[in-house]
Amino acid sequence: EAGVAQSPRYKIIEKRQSVAFWCNPISGHATLYWYQQILGQGPKLLIQFQNNGVVDDSQLPKDRFSAERLKGVDSTLKIQPAKLEDSAVYLCASSTRDVGLAITDTQYFGPGTRLTVL
């Protein structure tokens, strides 16, 4: 099956500019995640969608970041305006929940978008 697709793979912008990233999850996966991974650190969850609804956006800097998943399939993450500290790899992941005696929820990650803010 096809994996999680992300574009672009690389983006260089100047501070105060805007940028948008696109993610297409694995077909049939209801849950979609956006992560920010700063160099030398582990990924940090920015936002989690269940279908087209937001489950968790507690770590999303809402003054400059926004994300949407209008039809419950693909998603866009936008930064407006960008700051130097936004330089990072932005990862998209998707999962499908298997709820039984124990919840199993394996996330499948895309290749990421490397953003450099100058």
Binding mask 40-59 for another protein (x = CB under 8 A): xxxxxx--x------xx---
22 binding another protein? (CB under 8 A) = no
| Cis bond before residue 8 (omega within 30° of 0) | yes
Span near another protein by CB under 8 A; candidates 22-30, 62-70, 74-82, 96-104: 96-104
Integer Cα distance of 80 and 116 in angstroms: 14
20 binding another protein? (CB under 8 A) = no
Integer Cα distance of 78 and 16 in angstroms: 13
Nearer to another protein among residue 14 and residue 98 (C-beta) = 98
Q: Name the minimum Å distance from CB 105 to another protein.
A: 7
Integer Cα distance of 50 and 54 in angstroms: 6
Interface residues for another protein in 64-93 (CB under 8 A)?
Answer: 91, 93
- Kind of pairing between the strands at 113-117 and 10-13: parallel
**DSSP 3-state of 105:** coil
Residues within the interface to another protein (CB under 8 A): 3-4, 33, 35, 40-45, 48, 55-56, 91, 93, 101-112
